[in-house]
Amino acid sequence: MRKVMQSVIVLLLLALLAACSSGSPTGGEQNSAGPAEETGGKQADFKKLGGEPLTLTFYVTTGTLPDVEFETLIAGPIKKKYPNVTIERIKPAANTTHEEVLSTHVPDIIYSTSSSHQQIIRTGAYADLRELIERHNFDTSKIKPILWNYVLDLTKGDEILAIPFNSNQHVLYYNKDIFDKFGVHYPPDEQLTWDQVLELAAKLTRTENGVHYIGLSVDNLTGLARGLGLGYLDPETGNAALDTPDWLRTFELQKRIFEIPGYVTPDGQWDWTRDHFMKDQNIAIRVTWLANMVGPLEELRQQGVEFNWDIAPAPNFEDQLGKTREAQVHTLSVNSQSKHKDEAFQVIAEILSDEGQRILARNGRVPAIDLPDEKEVYGSDIPVLQGKNVKNVFVGEPLQEHNFHPFEIDIQPRLNEAAEDLAINGLDVNSAIRKATEAINKDVETLRTTLGEP
């Protein structure tokens, strides 16, 4: 009888243990419930997005994101799916620094690019997303490797500070009216070499009826360097990295552009920008980012300003054909000080869903995730891309963006000075490289003193 009672007790204890363990699944079982269920364990520690009225704030540090795109790609889709969730954009005053904004505001979601990642890292505003990724069962494997690897490189994999939002690739924009005016054939649907583009630019740089037309705009040295994936600083030493054969090629190409007759005006104008292409409409060819132009062109169209332009593949050096330029990674992050980290991450997860990324593709952004119908749906919903050769967006493979040294963006103005030296200050290529190298190394020493070793 005693043995029977002992067996009953053991069975009761085993049943009790089984009942206790069933309320707390582990590993994949816990994650498979998803963020919407609050059924125990970590799932009870966060609120389901849309469960109650909520306003989340959103801050763009760098990268082109006009209001029309913010509404179409981010705020609008979230509001449609979660009517009581509002994404409110923080709009700081002009010339306000990131540090000033982040010291006076706590934006729940931070939008960034390589032009600001390292600076925001220094502020401590980025939350480490690893726990949120695990808790919300977010699948990072769907993100395109060249984008995800860049994010991992930001911290050598020690933390995950951002989720890629889109792949900002390069194309060649051209003003068809200027080509027609001077009887020049449009760029083809195949990649051109830089030599071929310069031939076109020389034919299209001229003055007629008081209007000065410029054949080519390229974002200067910093833009040209993207075709070869060049960093400005040595990632190991932190010193200037301009004394290389590829940088020499880049400086030589920049010099050739400036030497096109009429490119540099008598009054010293040499830096031709987006506004010259879109608003003044005196630029025949502009090679630049997709995001730099598509949203602003749509915004301009909505204001009643339209002109006859189209898209061709981005050019490159002859031995680099088949590749375009580095794909700049636009990212979304959660603020480390946010009171709504889980809700903010759920918004990011919605934007990174197939549905959310397809909205990006249909509105002229190359999505961050692999979509099987990416090329078919690209640009289909944005009026400014109707009738354009959008297939040329996908000609050539983009490069992975290089790993930025923490001081790289701080010394970028020295590259702009070097371009000016080539354009109007009479320096030859080797002298410009030498001068820029010396200035950069001095800046790096100052940064090490003021900010410490990175």
Tens of pLDDT, residues 278-315? 999 999 999 999 999 999 999 999 999 999 999 999 99
Confidence label for 23 from pLDDT (cuts 50, 70 and 90): very low
Residues of the chain with CATH 3.40.190.10: 54-168+328-397, 170-326+403-451
User: What are the b/e assignments for 59-89, b being 16+ CB within 10 Å?
Assistant: bbbbbbbbebbbebbbbebbeeebeebebeb
Rounded-to-integer distance, Cα 92 and Cα 97, Å: 9
CA atoms within 13 A on the CB side of 342: 18
Confidence label for 99 from pLDDT (cuts 50, 70 and 90): very high
**Residue range 379-389: mean pLDDT, rounded:** 98
Rounded-to-integer distance, Cα 245 and Cα 242, Å: 9
Most confident of 3-7, 157-161, 252-256: 252-256
DSSP-based three-state secondary structure for 123: helix
Rounded-to-integer distance, Cα 254 and Cα 159, Å: 38
In contact, 346 and 49? CB cutoff 8 Å: yes
| pLDDT at residue 22, as a whole number | 37
| pLDDT at residue 21, as a whole number | 39
CATH number of 54-168+328-397: 3.40.190.10
| pLDDT at residue 8, as a whole number | 38
Tens of pLDDT, residues 327-359? 999 999 999 999 999 999 999 999 999 999 999
CATH number of 170-326+403-451: 3.40.190.10
| pLDDT at residue 157, as a whole number | 75
Whether the predicted pLDDT of 33 surpasses 70: no
Across all residues in the chain, what is the average pLDDT? 91
In contact, 137 and 345? CB cutoff 8 Å: no
